[in-house]
Structure 1
């Protein structure tokens, strides 16, 4: 076995030792703690229901989401709102469309916007954070300059309120669902970047890194094969929490009229925006999509917080 291979093996063993408890891997023990957490179970149950509805919604929806079958029955034509009944479990909207069908179809649109937005922020932010963290960890004048420039740009993005930044981006790019995804994703970039950079800097002083350095392993190899893989746990947790934020912010942009230009396409934020005009006469039209957004965001938040506690070494014992 070569000297470099021995050093990598030693660093790997020390990394496992630093992340293990009673011989169990970090993620194995975290999963064990999650199974015992009521908060995690509730959050996972909410997310599972949301995912199920988003997947099977188009097939189980009793009516077409754009079909105005009962338009003659609803206000403003008749001056009344048709609430829950046998053929329409959640009633009708202002155009005589089945509210339950639109909620089921809208779940998929909401999930799509949230996941794509989170992935944009995660991928770009992790790349930026990895470059900055590697530059700071490797040291040298050039590395410090790169880290300083990247972090100052990140700080400027963080200085702006997230929703204001998202609205500004969406307003410049124009009204579309893609615009909402990009706008919300860009807002998430500095969060992931700073988190991964900070985690990498924290790992840079661990014993396994010092051991690898003492054996002559190149710093670049240590960063790529040891420090970076051991720094991703907080980023994964943040991705779960960011899904909740992305869903809320995407709904907010749709509510402000910056989402899908076709109002017939059901999406919870658009449905909430359309229902605000009729809140006095038909409050439940606003309650249904609002509850969907709040409960879904709550599910991701509960699971994310439970994962954070499960992966926190200070709470493991």
Structure 2
């Protein structure tokens, strides 16, 4: 009996050491691949610029973003768009406000909406995915039934178009910036839940889990200290990609009039919505926030795809 126990102990120690070494090597190799990837460098550079602008933008803005300083000049031109000039780098909007200042300040609101929405989806979705994955992996028949019920509900959410679901939630909750963040976050929940649950199921049959079961380690400890940490790689990648999606969807809700009820507060989606009425005479009012949204989403997408490739074991050479 003692010989069998010793063998199991040695197997567990060997498996744990191998998994730890492999995990560490995976992250080191992933970091090396990211540094060598032009796509990752470009994406990280775009994100860094966006974050810096969002943080220091209000202090860099040459004019107050809500001040209608040149309102008289705009009305004197019979509402014609005032283009870029030395005093106003991006020109003026329809109320005589400086567009460059509004773009700088609006970056913070856009980043806030994207990050908070992603965190709502990540935290709630990861919690659901962890519970479902743990139930399916170590919960026996009762756990399998719980997993089935939870996953069918997640499948229902996934079957709905994301933008339609977000619009429905925002319409029910009312017009506000908080509503936009919650609506976009709820749309992200089933994605994270399904992803983490699938990753945990893949890890459930690993040697280190079998060794832990044989040693009599509690199920909760196996899930929290072994299965969950080794299942987070795809979730981290998805979080980066979801930031891009969250920014686009938040801008879409603001464009539809479900965002901040105060149109004076600069936010790229709100600015894009306001510009649609003047697109024929002032197309640049729409171009500036649209380009900002596209480039920012592109940065997160490039970094996310590079991380996906770097963490894919099939691509490691």
Distance 1:79 1:60 in 2: 28
Name the counterpart of 2:142: 142
2 CA distance for matches of 1:9 and 1:227? Answer: 16
CA deviation after TM superposition for structure 1 residue 6, in Å:
7.0
Q: State the match for 2:265 in structure 1.
A: 265
Q: What's the offset of the Cα at 1:13?
A: 1.2
Partners of 2:131 and 2:91 lie apart in 1 by 52
Q: Could you tell me whether the CA contact under 8 Å between 1:7 and 1:215 is conserved in 2?
A: no
Q: Is the 8 A contact 1:76 1:94 kept in 2?
A: no
**CA gap 1:47/1:216 in 2 versus in 1, 3 angstroms:** same
The yes-or-no answer on 1:219 pairing with 2:223 is no
1:48 aligned residue = 48
Which residues in structure 2 correspond to 1:234-253 (within 5 Å)? 234-253=234-253
Report the CA distance between 1:72 and its aligned residue: 1.4
Superposed CA offset, 1:15-57 (max 9, x none): 22444xxxx5221111110000000000000000000100100
Query: Is the Cα–Cα contact under 8 Å of residues 14 and 207 in structure 1 kept in the other structure?
Result: no
Q: Structure 1 residue 8: deviation in Å?
A: 6.2
Tell me what 1:14 maps to.
18
Partner residue in 2 for 1:298: 298
Paired residues of 2:9 and 2:215 also in contact (CA < 8 A): no
Q: Does 1:80 find its partner at 2:83?
A: no
Q: How does 1:1-317 map to 2 (within 5 A)?
A: 9-19=13-23, 25-74=25-74, 78-317=78-317
What is the CA–CA distance in structure 2 between the aligned matches of 1:5 and 1:294, rounded to whole Å?
Answer: 54
Structure 1 distance, partners of 2:76, 2:119, is: 42
Say whether the 8 Å CA contact 1:166–1:183 is kept in structure 2.
yes
- C-alpha distance in 1, partners of 2:274/2:9? 63
CA deviation after TM superposition for structure 1 residue 211, in Å? 2.8
More helix by share: 2
Kept in 2: contact 1:53–1:107 (CA 8 A): yes
The two structures, once aligned, show a CA RMSD in angstroms of 1.8
Q: Distance in 2 between matches of 1:10 and 1:85?
A: 68
Q: SS at 1:62's partner residue?
A: coil
Structure 2 unaligned spans of 5+? none
- Describe the superposition over 1:214-250 as per-residue Cα deviations: whole angstroms up to 9, x where unpaired: 3343333222211111000100100000000000000
Quick check: 2:46–2:296 contact (8 Å CA) kept in 1? Answer: yes
2 CA distance for matches of 1:32 and 1:294?
28
CA distance in 1, matches of 2:190, 2:42: 29
